[in-house]
Structure 1
């Protein structure tokens, strides 16, 4: 069986049955009167000892070894505490009649409580106590999607992906490990060192505006970022050190606030590795990588350390020459559900960038060419975080604290010579920040009128001290420019600010098991966000803004029959806007606004969203896990790509999205798995939008860049006589590029494969084949106005970044 005994062997069942029979026999013998002795006149309750015996199992029937069994008298005093043996069995002697409460707990499981009433001369039948796993946003030890989350998850679109599935997927870039989440697409529109583009539930999420990502509880998204709100750079992640990815979709979860309207992902890293390893990789287009990880005992705890060195040129005419270095160091202790961990992380990357290219520039520079060879950037992030957790008989407490330093210097050019015919349109975005935060939660388990209840109270505080700016540049050198249409000067410093972005979130969540087949989750979250901005360019744009927002949420879960659950959910959430916009009174002089002293209207600090969902999860068919969900989401506003600056701007009207997701994971036999995930969504403005339409168009209601059909499917062979392999399809359908639907992208369909072989027990060689069919699709598409050379007229045309062509990558891994 696996760690939680998803499948119980016949031997294990037989062993369990024998233990129960033996325990029952011991109980019966212990209660038989001794006919060789004469009893004296005293109460029967004092003559006999009753053995309370039983076995502790999980929802699948697998035994839970080492579980803590505590018996408490009616007056609250502890009668005794014992741990179940390796077979999950326990036996406790009680010599006084009366009422008792029995508590059974184990790390990673919900605490179980039952009431015992002992009467003189009465036997107690052997107990079989089943513990349910805790919700997936806490520690759940799973290996992959084959784990049944019935009784655990709160929706059909909540789940967990383990390291086993992550490592069996061929990936082009580290961010693609998030594509293990059904419906998620990860792409790139610039150099490899830039944060990915995220697509989910009818969103082009840019770099993370409505998709929250956490690294061991530390948020990855960056508010008020120089390039885009919610910027989330997955380059700091070493995929081999990720133990699991827990995910949920929709605004229904009290413990997640900013950026979570479409969904959220919680990456949990190993504290101890199953095996230490070192791996080297090489491949086409200058690809090379070395990664290692090791863990061992140190004192009363465990030390884990790992690192990554990476280089890739890509197929571009002007190579990316992307270098990155990652390091991770973790020390942890855990005993009986109590422990702590300390983790240090470091990342540094630098790259050139072949940005998106206008369609009419392909004859000039080729599909893999660039119109500005000096685009690129560098970034780094260094963090320290600590976590402490404690578990009592009826409570759990977890506190995470973190701090990090981050910087980015990014040079981009999306419109080429549209603004300045002589110096071009390159611009620089710079972000420097220190950030610190705290996430504390306390859970209390008790009973209300005989119903099992779990109440959680949480507080999340984060503060970012930011220095960012937007600058005009040529060949990475800042300088003034001239707007070709008006003749006005565009100063080298378009915008520069010092700002403090403070976020405070607090929530209360209530879980009630009303009946064996019905439970509910109700939460209320409150958010307070404060911006303090000091403009280094225009003093009128300095100021303070504060906004509070409540977000109620509710989930109802029904279990009408075995291994099947139905879900109904509704909730509110939000995303924050850039703090600089909340105090903006005068428009910066830029390509979008070449006129000085233009008055501006501040934007809202927080953008509310609301949504609903119904779904089903079933494992009724043998070896098949399947979920189906129908969802709806309303956003008061959203961020859109701005072709003139490469930044984002808020829409002028609300939007509505709806769709469905169908996810399947099938394990027909021991070494084979098949998954098929299908999602489709529609995104519409509530009113006609003329601001993002094709020339001479009145506009329309379609949200540009909104993802529609997404298919992810794969067939995987696991460890068959040393062999393993995987074949995966990654598909996302056409998207509207303008609100009127005149410009649309084509379909993108990629087939990737991997084959590996383990030899000499500790060596493994493998080869990945990316874009097996060598398709010339696009990673991402836009449509806007640009000018590819100073001597041609500007044109409104499709702009795209191509997928990388077929390539092979080889790796050799040694475990020890």
Structure 2
């Protein structure tokens, strides 16, 4: 009898131990100050590389390995909490986190992608976004330049790319694409001026083309902006500064006094006027409105609806030739053609539905629609082509964007490894009408049409990834499939005809992550990315070589040398295939050969005291054209060495001081480096004094009044009285010393 019982008892005990080793437990994280679910809290098993994150309803699921497992729960802006699970008396406990000052020690290294997001949250808290220009500057290593009166999308630089206005970086806001395909001015044109800085809650970013969910334009990287779902308090802000600058912002909660916790809504508005430092006033006007509604349908589902509208109008002094300034014909703040400028508008409506299908399954759907108008007058060459009327050009379009995307995520738990499976699909259609380039006079008369037509471009996509977690390792393979349909009707042709082409591209990805210790993680990321070309390029090339691919790799780490010191070193490589570029300023197609970029980056965050925060990012890149002879293989305007950083200090309670710097080294302006774009080192200062009901601030751009050039190009031009054209640097001067006073009221 005992001989039979002992083996059976052993099997029962073994099965019991095995089942416990696979025990799946759940809980819910709630913020004590708001009594609302906390999304993206990190739940770790102490002493192990096992972790998970809370979902939209604050719930999480994790696999315990032994009865003594201790959970360590953290969230940026909250005190951490330790839970010994076998002491819990309820099946799914509610765990409350208490609010606390944002600290670098709250960053969890075990997930490098989320760790970067957490670092960004600290950066935003210690040095908040203060202007439309600040929005993109928050991304480490990303530089911008404005060269058309403040209303045109910024020129972007990242990882050895002159990205123009967005060709090689994917930008979204609340799930809506910012980049404009086949744009009148330039492919990927990304105008973020419809985003009110004070509404930004979070900025997610990634470098390279290693993420299956990020598609068109995500070659050098991607940036996703998220606005607040709920306001902590109402805000009324007034700003006034030099150059007749006036700005006002209002943000107001709804449902504040109804006791409604499952639903909330707010509205935000912004108005900005400035003449700028130029002798010809910019007359820059910008008006923004945003409304956002959120409701928790039930414990598992939520719905978010967003509507916004934006209108902007400005005059510009354009890019000025260096020789005109040296000869005293104009000052740095003068203009050769003061009739430049433009106007633009964008209205959006979007809906996001999220639901937790089960403890291990999530679903998210986004739907969006945008209506966009654009009109820009420029003159880069002055009297080169038309010595009588001048060379002013007009670029304009009217666009509607329809889109949706869906994402399904499932967790699988096993005794050997855990899996997270993600699958998604997307559809975007751009209907662009009367997209044109014309030769104009004084913004009034059309002298000649260079291009005029209608574009319809559709992008359908599928993607999937699998995250395999075992011990210290995480392996994330992924793949993305994109299919494009291009249609163009050239209205300058005597006979109506639709030119069409289609193209499909497959983009595999692979990320390897190693976490030997809770305080550091290494990674190797590899992937293929792409950016679409302008529809007018596609039909001109009859569908050949019109989805230029990139192949890249990143080797790096995120290391917490101390709870108050975090470093992020990385080296990277990026190869780009042959492409053909549609030059919107000339209505021509130009070939651009194969390129190779490699570089190194170092990010440092240090918070020795709760009142002192230091950060610095240093970025090196070597960009070369592969098929050109050495010495003639430079890529114009590609930055080689850049750095940003600063110090945030609170010497006394309620007083915050922020000093920021940005540095860019001289870089080639043409292929043989015979002409260079000047580098710069610019400093900004922000001082804020905050009380419970109001705040007073002073913001100073270019603190030391440095004479610098914000945008620079090698351009061939001719002035009115010149016999022959001249090729040299044309530039837009960078902002001089610029002070603004800010007053905010909270209620």
Q: Where on the TM-score scale, by shorter chain, does this alignment land: which range?
A: 0.7 to 0.9
Q: How does 1:154-553 map to 2 (within 5 A)?
A: 154=113, 161-162=120-121, 165=124, 168-169=127-128, 171=130, 173-297=131-255, 300-334=262-296, 336-362=299-325, 363-391=328-356, 392-447=358-413, 450-467=416-433, 468-480=435-447, 492-515=448-471, 517-538=472-493, 539=495, 542-553=498-509
Note the C-alpha offset of 1:237: 1.1
User: Are the aligned partners of 2:503 and 2:543 in contact in 1 as well (CA < 8 Å)?
Assistant: no
Tell me if 1:688 matches 2:650. Answer: no
User: Are the aligned partners of 1:471 and 1:478 in contact in 2 as well (CA < 8 Å)?
Assistant: no
CA distance in structure 2 between the partners assigned to 1:541 and 1:660 by the alignment: 49
User: Are the aligned partners of 1:325 and 1:348 in contact in 2 as well (CA < 8 Å)?
Assistant: yes
Note the C-alpha offset of 1:108: 7.4
Alpha-carbon distance change, 352 to 151 in structure 1, aligned in 2, over 3 angstroms: same
Q: Deviations over 1:665-685 (max 9, x none)?
A: 111101110001100101100
Partner of 2:688: 756
Q: How does 1:3-42 map to 2 (within 5 A)?
A: none
Alpha-carbon distance change, 397 to 458 in structure 1, aligned in 2, over 3 angstroms: same
Partner of 1:634: 575
CA distance in structure 1 between the partners assigned to 2:544 and 2:445 by the alignment: 28
Note the C-alpha offset of 1:494: 1.0
Note the C-alpha offset of 1:753: 0.2
Q: Secondary structure at the match of 2:230?
A: coil
Higher deviation after alignment, 268-277 or 629-638: 629-638
Partner of 2:521: 565
Higher deviation after alignment, 176-185 or 428-437: 176-185
Q: TM-score if structure 1 supplies the norm length? A: 0.78
CA distance in structure 1 between the partners assigned to 2:627 and 2:59 by the alignment: 48
Q: Secondary structure at the match of 2:624?
A: strand
Alpha-carbon distance change, 649 to 132 in structure 1, aligned in 2, over 3 angstroms: farther
Q: Deviations over 1:201-259 (max 9, x none)?
A: 00111000001111001110000000000000011111111001011010100000001
CA distance in structure 2 between the partners assigned to 1:249 and 1:715 by the alignment: 24
Q: Secondary structure at the match of 1:505?
A: strand
CA distance in structure 2 between the partners assigned to 1:226 and 1:319 by the alignment: 26
CA distance in structure 2 between the partners assigned to 1:652 and 1:262 by the alignment: 17
User: Are the aligned partners of 2:612 and 2:650 in contact in 1 as well (CA < 8 Å)?
Assistant: yes
Q: Deviations over 1:616-675 (max 9, x none)?
A: 101132301210110011111467796x93778544311011101111111110111000
Q: Secondary structure at the match of 2:110?
A: coil
Q: Secondary structure at the match of 2:735?
A: coil
Higher deviation after alignment, 107-116 or 174-183: 107-116
Higher CA-based Rg: 1
Alpha-carbon distance change, 648 to 496 in structure 1, aligned in 2, over 3 angstroms: closer
Higher deviation after alignment, 344-353 or 644-653: 644-653
CA distance in structure 2 between the partners assigned to 1:295 and 1:146 by the alignment: 32
CA distance in structure 2 between the partners assigned to 1:650 and 1:469 by the alignment: 18
Note the C-alpha offset of 1:735: 1.0
Q: Deviations over 1:409-443 (max 9, x none)?
A: 10000000010000110000011101110010000
Q: Secondary structure at the match of 1:729?
A: strand
CA distance in structure 2 between the partners assigned to 1:263 and 1:649 by the alignment: 25
CA distance in structure 1 between the partners assigned to 2:147 and 2:482 by the alignment: 33
Higher deviation after alignment, 162-171 or 804-813: 162-171
Alpha-carbon distance change, 728 to 576 in structure 1, aligned in 2, over 3 angstroms: same
CA distance in structure 1 between the partners assigned to 2:302 and 2:194 by the alignment: 26
Note the C-alpha offset of 1:65: 4.4
Tell me if 1:624 matches 2:565. Answer: yes
Q: Secondary structure at the match of 1:687?
A: coil
Structure 1, unpaired ranges of 5+: 1-50, 68-82, 90-102, 117-123, 135-140, 481-491, 586-600, 690-697
Q: Secondary structure at the match of 1:702?
A: coil
Q: Secondary structure at the match of 2:529?
A: strand
User: Are the aligned partners of 2:537 and 2:580 in contact in 1 as well (CA < 8 Å)?
Assistant: no
Note the C-alpha offset of 1:518: 0.8
Partner of 2:718: 787
CA distance in structure 1 between the partners assigned to 2:550 and 2:277 by the alignment: 40
Q: Secondary structure at the match of 2:438?
A: strand
Note the C-alpha offset of 1:64: 3.8
Q: Secondary structure at the match of 2:410?
A: strand
Q: Secondary structure at the match of 2:343?
A: strand
Alpha-carbon distance change, 145 to 113 in structure 1, aligned in 2, over 3 angstroms: closer
Note the C-alpha offset of 1:152: 2.3
Note the C-alpha offset of 1:129: 3.7
Q: Secondary structure at the match of 1:364?
A: coil
Note the C-alpha offset of 1:277: 0.7
CA RMSD of aligned residues (A): 3.2
User: Are the aligned partners of 2:694 and 2:744 in contact in 1 as well (CA < 8 Å)?
Assistant: yes
CA distance in structure 1 between the partners assigned to 2:203 and 2:319 by the alignment: 30
Note the C-alpha offset of 1:131: 6.5
Higher deviation after alignment, 225-234 or 532-541: 532-541
Tell me if 1:674 matches 2:651. Answer: no
Q: How does 1:569-718 map to 2 (within 5 A)?
A: 569-584=525-540, 604-637=545-578, 645=585, 650-688=590-628, 700-718=632-650
Note the C-alpha offset of 1:365: 1.7
Q: How does 1:108-119 map to 2 (within 5 A)?
A: 111-114=60-63
